[in-house]
Amino acid sequence: MNILCIAIDDEPLAVKKIAGYIGKVPFLELVAECRSAAEAMTIMDSTDVQLLFIDINMPDISGMEFVKSLANKPYIVFTTAYSEYALEGFQVEAVDYLLKPITFTNFLKAANKVKNLIELTANNQKESVKTTANHLFVKSDYKLIRIELSDIKYIESQHEYIKIHLSNSTPVLTQLSLKSIEEQLPSDRFMRVHRSFIVNLAKISVIERNRIVFDGKVYIPVSEQYKKIFQAFVDRNFV
């Protein structure tokens, strides 16, 4: 299991140090070193980042404000020289709060916390979704709901939940990650095209400017991370 991470700090030496620590941990994979929240957001729009190591005091928008603005939060580890933000950090559900100067021992403890949470969540979610050749069974509002795979148009990530959009009924909201349901769906029928979307390939009829269009009003972007595999699908099926 590789956990995709970004190191965010406006201080060059600080971000290099965190990036170096990430490189020493076998289950962490550095996606980018960012000097601002805006730079990180650009990368997160196209990559399924699972973990942010982020400083709090930064220009333009602080790390705390940035985390609060995220609709779909990855796991958060704050890295800062100021202890007074600790309570606020845990109020936004940060996994850990590392005070500078950060030792590798403390960094590794934080990384292991994230790893354990991801593994625990994955194990729990395996029990919450089951698939057969033609159906998907999910828990929603204390009920077990059977969904025809052919009825799914697309699946949207909404923080700790996903919304399954259907052709013939209202969407179904369930507490799962997009990754966990992606692993249960047949890859020849469903494709991840963005960090927040999976689409039913059989339902695609309109593609406009690198976006999939459903019902003439829902535009689903195809991010850079998935563009190559999606283009291969288009080349095979759209003449």
Q: Give the domains, in start order, of the chain with CATH numbers.
A: 3-125 (3.40.50.2300), 130-237 (2.40.50.1020)
The reported pLDDT for the residue numbered 53 is: 97
The reported pLDDT for the residue numbered 86 is: 74
Give yes or no for a cis peptide into 101 (omega within 30° of 0): yes
The reported pLDDT for the residue numbered 179 is: 84
Lowest-confidence segment of 91-100, 134-143, 188-197, 223-232 by average pLDDT: 134-143
Average pLDDT across the chain, whole number: 89
- pLDDT above 70: percentage of residues in the chain: 97
With a cut of 60, say whether residue 48 has pLDDT above it.
yes
Q: Mean pLDDT over residues 134-139, rounded?
A: 88
Burial of 172 (0-12, 13-18, 19+ CB in 10 A): buried
Token pair recorded at residue 92:
């936004």
With a cut of 90, say whether residue 116 has pLDDT above it.
yes
- pLDDT above 90: percentage of residues in the chain: 57
**Is 52 in contact with 46 (CB distance < 8 Å)?**
no
Chain-centroid distance of CA 215 in Å reads: 26
> From the CB of residue 210, how many other CB atoms can be counted at a distance below 10 Å?
13
Higher pLDDT: 94 or 121? It is 94
> How long a stretch of residues is the chain?
239
Higher pLDDT: 61 or 86? It is 61
With a cut of 70, say whether residue 70 has pLDDT above it.
yes
b/e sequence 137-160, b meaning 16+ C-beta within 10 Å: ebbbeeeeeebebebbbbbbbeee
Q: Mean pLDDT over residues 14-37, rounded?
A: 96
C-alpha to C-alpha distance for 228 and 215, rounded to whole angstroms = 25
DSSP for 75-115, written as a single string? EEEEEES-GGGHHHHHHTT-SEEEESSPPHHHHHHHHHHHH
Q: Mean pLDDT over residues 228-238, rounded?
A: 90
The reported pLDDT for the residue numbered 128 is: 62
The reported pLDDT for the residue numbered 158 is: 83
| Side chain identity at residue 173, one-letter code | L
The reported pLDDT for the residue numbered 89 is: 74
